[in-house]
Amino acid sequence: MRCSVCGSERLSPLGELHLATQRWNDRIQLRFPRGGFFKARPTYEASFARACRDCGAFLPFLSEYARRQLDAEADSLTDITDA
C-alpha cells in the first residue's frame, strides 16, 4: 500500500480512528446526498486510519461492515454538488 499524496510505502499500521471530543459516540462519517425524498442519507462510518510516516498524510478507512454496505449501494450514490 502506498501513500496517495507522496507515494511512500512507509505507512503506519492500521489504527483505530478516534475523535478527541467529550462525547463517547462521536464518529467520522462519509455521507452522500439523499437518494430520494423519503430515503435516508447514505452514511458510512470511518473506523480506522493509517498515517504516512514520510509526509504525515492521514488516510481514513471504513469498517468492513461499512465497506460492504457502501459497495452494495455504490451504484445509487451521487457526488455532493455544493462542495
- 50 touches Zn ion by CB under 5 A: no
Query: Which one of 51, 57, 70, 77 is in contact with Zn ion (CB under 5 A)?
Result: 57
CA separation, residue 14 to residues 39, 47, 51 (Å): 33, 10, 8
Piece of the chain touching Zn ion by CB under 5 A; list 19-27, 33-41, 42-50, 56-64: 56-64
List residues bridging with 59 in a β-sheet: 50
Considering the complex, state which of residue 45 and residue 54 has its C-beta at the smaller distance from Zn ion.
54
Alpha helices (H) along 1-83: 64-73
Q: Does 52 bind Zn ion (CB under 5 A)?
A: yes
According to the binding rule CB under 5 A, does residue 17 interact with Zn ion?
no
Query: Exposed, middle or buried, 36 (CB in 10 Å: 0-12/13-18/19+)?
Result: exposed
Binding site for Zn ion (CB under 5 A): 3, 5-6, 8, 52, 54-55, 57
